Chains A and B, each alone.
Chain A
Amino acid sequence: MASKVIHAFYDDDDVLMLAVKRVKAAKLHIEEVYCPFPVHGLDKAMGLAPTRIAITSFLYGCVGLVVSVVMMNYIMIDDWPQDIGGKPSFSYIENMPAFVPIMFELTVFFAAHLMVITFYLRSRLWPFKEAENPDVRTTDDHFLMEIEIHDNEQELKDLLMDTGAVEINVTEKNSH
């Protein structure tokens, strides 16, 4: 469904923050904000839910730990318990200190890589992905706030102009 959106441009992150707070106070839904760099506190001002990526990372780390323990218990203790330089391979716990470096590294490896991949999937990022920025200036020195229009175009324009927008465009929303 094609719908019209309003694009308000700002050239300062402090002005943007105030504008976001004004728009939220007016009970309007902000579709998206495009910034050239992370603006501290913007997610809070927009009321975005906190990320849960740290929790996924913890769980991936647990998986990595289990993988390393199962792998080395199978290889070194169950499958072929050879005497290598007098290391006790009668049970996992007896030879555990020698496995700790691998347990640690695999925990970190799983936690880091799977978390990064999760991040790419959730933020829809991949090598040949088509860029989504509505205006090239948003990667350089402009901030853009996108709000959907529901028969309130003039009202919205006035509000956004009042918040210090340097430019306001009305466009058809490109569905990605």
Chain B
Amino acid sequence: MYTFSNRLKITSIVLMIIGALGIVGGFVMAPGSIEEAKAIVSSHDESHGDVHVVEASQTPQENNHAEADTHGEEHDASHDQHLLDKLQNRPWAALYVAAFFFFMIALGVLAFYAIQRASQAGWSPLLFRVMEGITAYLVPGGIIIFVILLLSMLHMNHLFIWVDEDVVAHDALLLGKSGYLNPTFFLIRAAIFLAGWIGYREYSRKLSLRQDESEDNSNFKLNFRISAAFLVFYLISESIMSWDWIMSVEPHWFSTLFGWYIFASMFVSGITVIAMVTIYLKSKGLLPDVNNSHIHDLAKFMFGMSIFWTYLWFSQFMLIWYANIPEEVTYFVTRITDYNLPFFGMVAMNFLFPVLLLMNSDYKRINWFVVMTGIVILAGHYMDIFNAIMPSTVGDQWYIGIPEIGSVLFFTGLFIFWIFRALASAPLQPKRNPFIEESKNFHY
């Protein structure tokens, strides 16, 4: 039985407090009026020197800049309003990216857990309690996401432009999509998905705990069946969720493999967190039967899924880059012009690091190596979500500053607090899982 150590509890609470201050600070610093927004941008430009001005006037081949300038002259007022919206979006987007990132870790772990149950894996039952502990975060994380989405639908921010009736009324494309992208249906879908994921998690956990005390394997068999059924639901709901929660911040753009792409991101982050929590608990001597072959397997998954993520990232990017159809390519044009370093930096973090560091079979067994790679992978996938949300919500006004770091710290604290509290609520090793002996003797 694990007891939530006081040091970890205090650390997580401190993280939450600092993070909450950062989040509040982000909202306070956001401009309230167009004048304030202009002041922020001009002071920003001055501090950077005259580089921006020179760039805009002396490089006529940069069509984006030239276009934006003529637009600005024609509709000065709407340009200013646009700038204000972007700056006001920043704390919201920072909060949303961090909230989604940590929720997606828990959801990725849930998918991994369901696959382990449905495939009757022999190596992983020792880690089931770790996975169940991490998926406990689905409840608070899901509620926070839902509240953010609800506030967005209530016009508290401009994260989703299709919520604004005025914009939709003058936009034929959005009007055409309004049968799907409308606030009521959007919230109903979100509620159904969250209910399905949380429902499976809670029921599976209950069966898992009941199996420890039971006389036969009926709970285990039922858990196997509902896990297989859940995977079908998950595949559909995850795909739709990615269109709703991520792709619809850019409602003029669409991509068919987007659902898989987001899935790969959440899956690899989830497995990384399983590995890190397992290594932490093992270092405290709480998982005596977990050996370095289990860590090796998790690291193999981290390695393989990182490549899978890259494959999907590249497939999406290359197909659109190659064909270069204007309505699709704007997505990457904004990212490459305004987010060059984060956009390509994340590919290095999510691909080059894991591929080079985890290729060696011996390195996959070294705890500090797995943790170090895991930190890079998690930071890389935070940047992945950052790159998905920010360009459409704050545009070129992005920066990784107080609102972003504050949000990450807050959710890190909440995540740690919640999952270790859940880990402390049940014995860390399942007692009578049919595969537990195989798992204890697992050796690769």
What residues of chain A have their CB less than 8 Å away from a CB belonging to chain B?
54, 58, 86, 97-98, 100
Contact = CB atoms under 8 A, between A and B. Distances in A.
A104 B3 CA distance: 48
A100 B322 CA distance: 12
Nearest to A86: B324
B314 interface: yes
12 contacts: A54-B361, A58-B359, A86-B324, A97-B314, A97-B317, A97-B318, A97-B321, A97-B322, A98-B318, A98-B322, A100-B314, A100-B318
Contacts of B359: 58
Given A58-B359, A98-B318, A98-B322, 9 more contacts: A54-B361, A86-B324, A97-B314, A97-B317, A97-B318, A97-B321, A97-B322, A100-B314, A100-B318
Contacts, number: 12
Contacts of A54: 361
Interface string B342-375: 0000000000000000010100000000000000
A97 B319 CA distance: 9
A6 B322 CA distance: 67
Nearest to B359: A58
A42 to B, nearest CB: 15
Nearest to B317: A97
Which 10 residue pairs of A and B lie closest in terms of their CB atoms, listed nearest first? A97-B318, A97-B321, A98-B322, A100-B314, A100-B318, A97-B322, A97-B317, A58-B359, A86-B324, A54-B361
Chain B CB within 10 A, most for which of A54, A97, A100: A97
Contacts of B317: 97
A103 to B, nearest CB: 11
Interface residues of B, number: 8
Interface in B299-337: 314, 317-318, 321-322, 324
Q: Which secondary structure characterizes the binding site on chain B?
A: helix
- By secondary structure, the A interface counts as helix
A84 B73 CA distance: 37
Contacts of A58: 359
Nearest to A54: B361
Nearest to A55: B360
A97 B315 CA distance: 10
Nearest to A98: B322
Nearest to B360: A54
B257 to A, nearest CB: 16
Interface in B227-263: none
B351 to A, nearest CB: 12
A108 to B, nearest CB: 12
A54 B359 CA distance: 10
Contacts of B324: 86
A36 B324 CA distance: 57
Nearest to A97: B318
Contacts of A86: 324
A148 B361 CA distance: 35
Contacts of B322: 97-98
A54 B314 CA distance: 26
Contacts of A97: 314, 317-318, 321-322
Nearest to A101: B318
Contacts of B361: 54
A11 B359 CA distance: 38
A9 B324 CA distance: 69
B42 to A, nearest CB: 34
Contacts of B314: 97, 100
Contacts of B318: 97-98, 100
A69 to B, nearest CB: 16
A77 to B, nearest CB: 17
A86 B325 CA distance: 12
A97 B314 CA distance: 8
Interface in B51-107: none
A82 B321 CA distance: 19
A18 B322 CA distance: 61
A100 B359 CA distance: 20
A86 B324 CA distance: 10
B390 to A, nearest CB: 23
B8 to A, nearest CB: 39
Contacts of A98: 318, 322
A59 B328 CA distance: 39
B363 to A, nearest CB: 12
A98 B321 CA distance: 9
